[in-house]
Amino acid sequence: MELQLALDLVNIPEAIELVKEVEEHIDIVEIGTPVVINEGLKAVKEMKAAFPNLKVLADLKIMDAAGYEVMKASEAGADIITILGAAEDMSIKGAVEEAKKQNKKILVDMIAVKDIETRAKELDAIGVDYICVHTGYDLQAVGQNSFEDLKTIKRVVKNAKTAVAGGIKMDTLPEVIKASPDLVIVGGGITGQDDKKATAAKMQKLIKQG
């Protein structure tokens, strides 16, 4: 099980300062969608240059022109690139094909997918690297989470790694860990804390204990 830190509400210098604090306690750093919108793929490039030993995920949430966008994110230094599960199979296949060429990985974000079980089976058969259940900010605001969806993908996915994101905090982490995802993605649960390093360290410890 790995820990990914999601950075959404920062600029590039703030993102780099934040990662300096928690670097030793995370496996992957995510350049969140709002950061890519504000700063472009330069944010991925600068993060990779600052932390060459960390895996960098570019949360592009690709919907179309997937091969091209995966290629551009790969050139910027991303190790993992996200595409939406709601995208056409043709787009998912394009992303997977380009990622293989570039020696990168594809994470499919299942946000807004209604039939998680059926779509997860289809995506698994296409050969994506990760399938991630995700409750975005708008549904977190009305009290939703993805813990039941995580159990669903754990049951049906045979090849891809499983991941979970959306409002995970220290108090809900044990429930997430119980379901044994391969990747736990935490944003505000770390960045919103006064002592980010101690929080990341504690989360890492729980995750490594399984």
Ligand X SMILES: O=C(CO)[C@H](O)[C@H](O)COP(=O)(O)O
Q: Which chain residues interact with ligand X by CB under 6 A?
A: 6, 8, 30, 32-33, 59, 136-137, 165-168, 185-189
Q: CB nearer to ligand X: give 152 or 172.
A: 172
DSSP string, 16-41: HHHHHHHGGG-SEEEE-HHHHHHHTT
Residue type present at position 65:
A
In 3D, which of 94, 34, 102 has the Cα closest to residue 73?
102
Q: CB nearer to ligand X: give 26 or 168.
A: 168
Closest residue to ligand X, based on beta-carbon distance: 187
Q: How far is the CB of 158 from ligand X (least distance, A)?
A: 25
Q: How far is the CB of 32 from ligand X (least distance, A)?
A: 5
Q: How far is the CB of 136 from ligand X (least distance, A)?
A: 4
Kind plus residue range of the DSSP H or E element containing 105: strand 105-109
DSSP string, 143-208: T--SHHHHHHHHHH-SSSEEEEESS--TTTHHHHHHT--SEEEESHHHHTSSSHHHHHHHHHHHHH
Q: CB nearer to ligand X: give 32 or 94.
A: 32
Q: How far is the CB of 181 from ligand X (least distance, A)?
A: 13
Residue 176 to residue 174: CA distance in whole angstroms: 5
In the chain, the N- to C-terminal Cα span, in Å, equals 7
Q: CB nearer to ligand X: give 11 or 159.
A: 11
Q: How far is the CB of 48 from ligand X (least distance, A)?
A: 18
Q: CB nearer to ligand X: give 33 or 102.
A: 33
Q: How many CB atoms lie within 10 A of CB 208?
A: 11
